[in-house]
Structure 1
Amino acid sequence: MVAAASSARPNAVPLPPHVKRATASQPASTSSISTTHSANAPRHNMQMSSNAVHLRRKRKPETPMKQFTRWLVNNQTGLSANLFALLFLTHMFFPRLRAHTSKFFTLSYRNPATGQYNVGPDDVPFVLFLVVLFTGLRASVMDYVLAPFARSQGLCKQKPVTRFSEQAWLVIVYTVFYPLGVYLYYHSPYFFNMKNLWTHWPGREMPGLLKAYILVQLAFWLQQIIVINIEERRKDHWQMLTHHFITVSLIIGSYRYRHTPVANVILVLMDVSDFFLPLAKCQKYLGYTTICDVTFGLFMLSWFICRHVFFSMICYSVWTQTPNIMPVGCFRGGAAAAGSPLGVPIGANEVSSLTSTVSSILPFLSDDTSNKLAFLLEPLFDSEGAICYNPAVKWAFLSLLLFLELIIIVWFFMIVQVAIRVVSGSGADDTRSDDEGEDEEEEDEEEYEDEHGNVKGRHHATHKVDAAPLEEEVGVEAIDLKGWERRTGVKRQASTTSGVSLPGHSDRKELLGRIGCEKQVD
């Protein structure tokens, strides 16, 4: 007997003419298939042929922006390779353009007399080149190295494989960044001498390795902003986005204001804990829970010491030491101008004319405030322009540092929650950004047909099932279940009955199979 006729139930699956309904003489327990559908889930059209059962899912249309971001994610490697090919072919075959194309892959503003480097707008092409390089490297390493390695270690589902690849990529990056930063710090005059962070100011030139280090870090964080906006969003998307913007602002400000020693120290303090956290996550995904907990303990210790002790010491130094060490005023010119590494001091009248010039470049500054604010922005636009220090400059940097510390404190409370779970035996599991959200999505593999009924291929779909099932039973005389078994690889259990029950979402996964190497339900 039919459990519920399709005419009496709007959401019931329509039956093809060749499929007969079960009758009273055909008990449902021996000659029927029970199919389940969610009342609120996307509706499926079931097509039954002589050799297959197909479920077709109707997806919600994607917005143009979503389609564009999906295209970016799926074509990161190819897009990066094409841009590099275009750049280097132009550099090779158009000699007149080499003066411009070389700026994309070489450091600019080298002083032959000193061997040092200045800063300027020609650094922008180099940073853009690095952003594209990081994009291509990240996508290719994740797809062709890290993801296959994860699968070889037993990770089968797509989500854990992706998460492992993302965290392993960060481990690789910080394995390079952190030793390089420590090397620069160890061979610097400010090694364990915080006062020397400020005595060089406003020296306009820096070693080439230090300049490359700062620009590479800047490009990496810019690329991270792109990543978190084109890939699936995590639970702490806005906190991470705010953190990245503050980090980029501090790197740019310290670079243009000639505070690269401070940038070097802060990046070293941040990189050490940023190395241990993804390493712990990789160990968690691979199932090494004990070593994961140990690594997480090292991460927590390094986080507290570097980000809440040493970083706070730098903030305190900005507040108390810079007024006593850094000369108040504005300086213009090169590093060797007037025989002084500080350059040429600018008087009050020159500052007034200087701010008028800058306010004409930046018309959003009113006449009433231009003399107070415009000099703060000139280092961002003119590499030979004035560099000033006064309480406004001090508080501009200090405010960004303190805001960054505030975000770090909020994250530290989340880290403490993880530590409590570790102590209680639940294991380390970072709550900040490991999941996209609370809703769990399942991936199904579906076959589709052309107009002649031929199976053309498979595609993926995500859906959520959260409503009570609606059930309908139909006859199985015209359905070739052996053909379905051959296609899907799913074996039926031996039973005295001839019916197959499909009561819900979990058994539909058994019917259709899943991507990867997930075990079939027995």
Structure 2
Amino acid sequence: MSQPYTPPPQRDLNVEDASPCYGSGGLKLSPAKRRRIVEKQESLGTMLRRGIVEHQLGLSVNLILLVSLSYVLFPALRTRMSAFFWLSYRSSRKPGFYDVGERDIYLMASFIVFFTALRAFLLDYVLMPVAGWAGIDKRKGRIRFAEQSYMMIYYLIYWTWGLLLFIHETPSGVHDLRSLLISLWSGWPYLYLSASMKVYYVSQLAFWIQQVVVIHIEERRKDHMQMLTHHIITIALLAGSYPYHQTRVGNAVLVCMDVVDFIFPLAKILRYLSMQAACDAAFAAFVVFWLVSRHVAYNAILWSLYAQTTSVTLHYGLYSTKDSEMLSDEAGTNMIDNLFQPILHPDAQYVSWNPRVRWMFIGLLLALQCITIGWFFMICRVVMKVLRGEGADDTRSDGEDEEDEEVDDIPAQPSEPLRAMPEPERAMRFIEVEATGEDFPHYPKRKGSGSKRKSKGISSGLNLGEHKDFLNRIGCLSEEQLAREREKRAGSMSPRPGSAGGKK
């Protein structure tokens, strides 16, 4: 008995097989859209990251509840766990002020979780609805609006707070720029912090750590590496200056950096609201403040660290951790033990200001300045666009908005040559194709079979199968096939004798 004939397996046609047709009149897909179509299975890391993003608020609230219940239910842990909720190291020498120590890390961790919960709540339940009420229809636009609104609120609050702290702690003898710069270093080490300064500094450090997490779990922008480098350097400066008792100069640097970080989101919000004139005005203010704060005031602090320390004020040497008096001019070379003295050696009687520590801070500040210079060149490109009348736009990170639409929303748009066709001819171009026997390669006949296969179409040498609709839609069928299908369609549409259309 003859065995049933089984055709050899055919390779499934996928999107990549049709990619050569993109440049010849078919549907043009951006790389981001094509990648979303081809990648049908998510990696474990992608699934985990998406799960974290979608449940930020729930995870944060559950973590806060876990710590709170542990504090309430286990009295033996309250002494240590109180650092998650209140300031630690109340000073015995200066009432109302606080020292620095390792338990401040617990408070910083609480702020990281708090900022994560606050951001997720505001985005999902406050700012996204506001974006909808403001008339922003696209989901990507609402997300960007909400993100920028959150950043604007945060930086406006913290810049105002930091500026008030800096003014309050500026010595009364300051009367010009030179004396102001010298005051940043005089009186070091700053052993005692007010409650406001301690909360400000610890929460700022927590915010930047949380931002590193955010840029890794959420959708990556085009300037991901620049942002990551910027965040890491900022964290290093804050994490080094806080235990090293350099909070006054750290406060000054934060004020210089934060002033533009609430103007820029404001300009982007105005752009999302289609208020282009107001956006351009806000962008002009942003450029001016950026230049003054990040390239003039910031570099003045950097110059003071290089030129005024060791020659005018804050000479190399050992300084007392009791009264900030200079004990010796033998500064040594150790860096780590001095930077983290309150954590590594809380009972130490002195702390050292030496060349290694000084040049470490100079290097970090220079690296941060290099990143801001690179961003300033991008800002100049936007300025040129505004001067040409094109309007202010963010060339740094929002260029992917249009590419990141969901695949399901991709319209089957005809290419430019097809748009120029008359509507009947365009309709005849995109027609249904009947999958006939000649659309398949010729296989050997079964043994004993004497029947001949009737030809119903044009041999293409390609197994269309279930992909014929897709190939027809993107214009990947041969002209010969299309011509035959037009003839068949025209014949089927002609009136039959005796029909209503054939009556005279």
Same fold (TM over 0.5): yes
1:420 aligns with 2:407: no
Indicate the residue corresponding to 2:265 in structure 1: 278
Does residue 308 (structure 1) correspond to residue 323 (structure 2)? The answer is: no
Query: Identity of counterpart residues, as a percentage?
Result: 39
The 3 A distance-change label for structure 1 pair 401 and 175 is: same
Counterparts in 2 of 1:125 and 1:466: CA distance versus 1, 3 Å: farther
Structure that is richer in strand per residue = 1
* CA deviation vs aligned residue, 1:73-102 (integer Å, no higher than 9, x gap): 000000011011111112222222111221
Change (3 A) 1:472 1:212: same
Structure 2 CA distance for aligned equivalents of residues 390 and 251 of structure 1: 19
Amino acid at match of 1:242: T
Match of 1:443 in 2: 406
3-state SS of the aligned residue for 1:256? coil
What 5-or-longer segments of structure 2 have no aligned partner?
1-8, 16-25, 419-428, 435-468, 475-504
Q: Following superposition of structure 1 onto structure 2, how do residues 96-495 of structure 1 map, counting pairs within 5 Å?
A: 96-114=76-94, 115-190=96-171, 193-323=180-310, 324-333=312-321, 335=322, 340-342=323-325, 345=327, 372-373=334-335, 375-379=337-341, 381-385=344-348, 386-436=350-400, 440-445=403-408, 473=432
**Is the contact between residue 110 and residue 117 of structure 1 (CA under 8 Å) also seen in structure 2?**
yes
Tell me how far 1:502 sits from its aligned partner: 11
Aligned residue for 1:266, secondary structure, equals helix
Structure 1 residue 174: deviation in Å?
1.1
Partner in structure 1 of residue 445 of structure 2: none
Distance 1:289 1:41 in 2: 29
Measure how far apart 1:105 and its partner are.
1.5
- Structure 1 residue 321 displacement after superposition: 1.2
Contact 2:318/2:328 (8 A) holds in 1: yes
Ranges in structure 1 where 5+ consecutive residues have no aligned partner: 1-6, 14-35, 45-56, 353-370, 446-460, 476-499, 506-522
Three-state SS of the structure 1 residue aligned to 2:325 is coil
3-state SS in 2 of match to 1:416: helix
- Give the Cα separation in 1 of the matches to 2:40 and 2:407: 16
Paired position in structure 1 for 2:51: 71
Once the two structures are TM-superposed, the CA of residue 269 in structure 1 deviates from its matched residue by: 0.8
| Secondary structure at 2:45 match in 1 | helix
CA RMSD after TM alignment? 3.6
Against the structure 1 CA distance between its residues 144 and 504, is the aligned structure 2 distance closer, same or farther, given a 3 Å change threshold?
Answer: farther
Does the 8 Å CA contact 1:331/1:387 hold for their aligned counterparts?
A: yes
Q: 1:4-59: per-residue Cα shift (whole Å, max 9, x none)?
A: xxx9996499xxxxxxxxxxxxxxxxxxxxxx9999999x9xxxxxxxxxxxx775
> Which letter does structure 2 place at the counterpart of 1:102?
S
* Residue in 1 that maps onto 2:75: 95
What's the CA shift for 1:444? 4.7
Q: Which has the higher contact order (CA 8 A, sep 6+)?
A: 1
| Contact 2:319–2:325 (8 Å) recurs in 1 | yes
Q: Which has the larger radius of gyration?
A: 2
Aligned mates of 2:11, 2:372 — CA distance in 1 = 55
Shift of 1:501: 12
- Structure with bigger helix share is 2
Secondary structure at the residue paired with 2:109?
helix
Task: State the one-letter code of the partner of 2:111.
Answer: L
- Partner SS state of residue 352, structure 2: strand
CA distance in 2, matches of 1:97, 1:9: 64
Asked if 2 retains the 8 angstrom alpha-carbon contact of 1:440 and 1:464, the reply is no
Q: Give, in angstroms, the shift of residue 208 of structure 1.
A: 1.4
Question: What is the CA distance between 1:398 and its match in structure 2?
Answer: 0.8
Separation in 1, partners of 2:329, 2:302 = 30
Deviation at 1:136, TM superposition (A): 0.7
**Contact 1:327-1:389 at 8 Å conserved across structures:** yes
Aligned residue identity for 1:421: K
Per the alignment, do residues 418 and 316 of structure 1 end up closer, same or farther by CA in structure 2, a change over 3 Å counting? same
CA distance in 1, matches of 2:374, 2:29: 41
What are the superposed Cα offsets for residues 287-339 of structure 1, whole Å, 9 maximum, x if unpaired? 11011000001100000000111111101100111112113212354x3xxxx
CA distance in 2, matches of 1:403, 1:167: 26
SS of equivalent to 1:387: strand
The CA deviation at 1:144 is: 0.7
Q: Quick one: structure 1 residues 472 and 59, their matched pair in 2 at CA, closer, same or farther if it must change by over 3 Å?
A: farther
Q: Distance in 2 between matches of 1:300 and 1:157?
A: 28
Q: 2:148–2:268: 8 Å Cα contact kept in structure 1?
A: yes
- Give, in whole Å, the separation in 1 of the partners of 2:338 and 2:40: 49
Quickly say closer, same or farther: Cα 1:311–1:8, change in 2 above 3 A: closer
CA separation of 1:160/1:342 partners in 2, compared to 1, >3 Å: closer, same or farther? same
- In structure 2, C-alpha distance between the alignment counterparts of 1:199 and 1:58, rounded to whole Å: 61
Taking the aligned partners of 1:321 and 1:287, their CA distance within structure 2 comes to 48
Rounded to whole Å, the distance in 2 between the matches of 1:77 and 1:374 is: 37
